[in-house]
Amino acid sequence: MPKPPPTSPPRSLRDHVQHSLPPYTGPYPVGFLEIELPAREPRPFSPHIKRNNEFALKLDTVLFAVYYPAEVRQDSNSYNNNNNSNGRLIPSSLDEDKRSRPKMQSFNNTQRTDPGGEKQRDGASALRPTRRRPLSRVPWLPRPRASTCKGYARFLSVPRWPVTAYVAVTSMFTKLPAYRNAKLSSRWPDTAGADHHGTVVSNYESAETLKKRRKSRDGIGKREHNEPPRFPVVIFSHGLGGSRTLYSSICGELASFGLVVVAMEHRDGSGARTFVNRAGKGEDLKSQGLDKTAGLPENEKKPLKRQRKDGGVKTSYKIDYLFPKGNAQDTSPNNPDGVDKELRGAQIEMRLAEIEEAFYVLGLINSGKGHTVRRDNLRKANNVGSSSLGLDGIEWQEWRDRIDVKSVTMMGHSFGGATTVQALRSDRLSWINQGILLDPWGPATPECTEQKLVHKPVLSIGSEAFMHWAENFDCIEQVCKEARAAGTLSWMTTIPGSTHLSQTDFAILYPNWMSLLMKTLVNPERAIYLTVRSALEFLKITLPATQTRFADAWPDEQLLRSADSETSIVSDHRPDAKWVAARLKIPNEFSIRLRGMLKWNTSLASPAGFASQSGEGEIWCHRSPEADFVNLYMRRND
């Protein structure tokens, strides 16, 4: 059990009143960008799949959030003057919902406002020293919040008003511990606290290999340490009902350790609800997205709501969860019709196209064209779902050559895990070099062919609930076998006591519901901790040396190395057949909960996690490479 993380930043009043997310534990504060850009080639996918006489899968824009290592500067007007024990400057708890901000100059040079409120044009006269705008934390629930709640109600097939009311009381105004449009960090991480996080030398490495790797990293470091670091990239794909903020605990935690994490919000009908802003003038929007070919019979069509009451054309539209026709519950293990392969396959193809678009945007930012991204960004003031700040305040020149896009990691949960598998099989996405699957949905993964096999390192971190789903387990095991047959690394692991939502923010915000309904046993924060630490250990092995120069600051608890082997796995939490994949089974549940009520430290949600309840290991390993093979791979990678 590692030592606890350094002292956390102070909690604001809203964090005490509503459900809150824990602060990140890495050496960096975390910044947050929100970007929506028109697709380079707008197009439909599987045009025969329609709803209400329109293409159901249509790529108009790409939307994603960027979690990144930030630099918080001390400013008596914007921040508290005290630091935490980790050396971070602690931003004051400012609310970006407040509209009564003092007039002060923004970070960017395109347009500035002096204290008197007059705008200045670009040029030397506009470059005089300015005061920084106070940073604001990011809302967890995407805007417009009430409409997003209704989208979740529709996704769950429950009445919308109770859901909206409950979320309003519990988490509608919950904030991420990340700061919008913060400055990209230009410092190297302090490794002094690495042991505090449990960082140790990898047992996979021999003394000779370790010496060579350190010499390689140190040699590069001596040449470049005076330059700002270049951060590795992770692209995250959400599961069904997900969004760009639903996995903020994992994305932000990775960013706090020096990774740039691009969290996609897919527009393929897999999210609960998302909003698309159209680009162009009104006259160009009248026919955008319409398909006048034969579709549904007239008696099944719904009236189109493209005209506003004032006669204008709507500049945005929403996309709700797309239920498969005649097979709405294709996610259920007990569904006799199985997965709607046609729809899910088309959605994955669209997701891969969105990922390509996001990677292209990263390339623009990395090449010094961030001002172009800001100009074309559709998430700006007065657009639906947007912050009034947009991308104001970003110093784009500081992003030039600061992102290492040569070896990108793909990561995804559930359906996002299936997307990750297909990305690892794709020759088109050659810049993706390794993948991390979080409780992947195996049956939705397209079947492999001899031409399309996983040939890159892969790590699967599953839940115990999905481990008991035999079909899903076999699918993921086959993916790991593909990677092994291709001569690369693969791990297949399980977090005992976890259920499918244990790797989402829902588990942290609603732990009691997770325990009561899904019979989750692992502490939710511990599940996130184990997920992120396993991922960092995997990346430490698979990333090239140029991307692991500050990996000494990453925690390395040997979770993959010390995981219990499959032969030693014993679980008495297998559910009845009708609850497979949905929840676990807790023997003597009533007596356990009663003891938990009488003595708080014996509750199911013990801070030490599931291991403290049964004495079992915190990670189960079903498949893993031999230590010699890992060592050989690392030598080749150098």
Catalytic residues: 414, 439, 500
* Dihedral over alpha carbons 444, 491, 555, 418 (to 10 degrees): -10
Helix 524-542 and helix 627-637: axis angle, to 10°? 60
* Residues present in the chain in total: 638
Task: Name the burial class of residue 129, with classes exposed (0-12), middle (13-18) and buried (19+) by CB atoms within 10 angstroms of its CB.
Answer: exposed
Q: Is-contact 612 187, C-beta < 8 A?
A: no
Could you give the CA distance from residue 549 to residue 218 in angstroms, rounded to a whole number?
8
Residue 395: alpha-carbon gap to chain centroid: 24
Cβ(549)–Cβ(536) below 8 Å = no
Nearest to 471 by CA among 444, 499, 501, 450: 444
Radius of gyration from C-alpha coordinates of the chain: 24
- ∠ Cα 462 464 466 (to 5°): 70
For residue 176, how many C-alpha atoms fall within 13 Å in the half-sphere facing its CB?
31
Q: Is the alpha carbon torsion for 335, 161, 64, 502 positive or negative? A: negative
Q: Is 568 left (phi over 0), alpha (psi -120 to 50) or beta?
A: alpha
Are 519 and 587 a contacting pair, CB within 8 Å? no
Note the Cα 184 to chain centre separation in Å: 19
Burial of 468: CB neighbours in 10 Å, binned 0-12, 13-18, 19+: buried
With vertex at residue 377, the alpha carbon angle to CA 374 and CA 378, rounded to the nearest 5 degrees, is 150
Q: Crossing angle of helices 248-255/524-542, nearest 10°?
A: 50
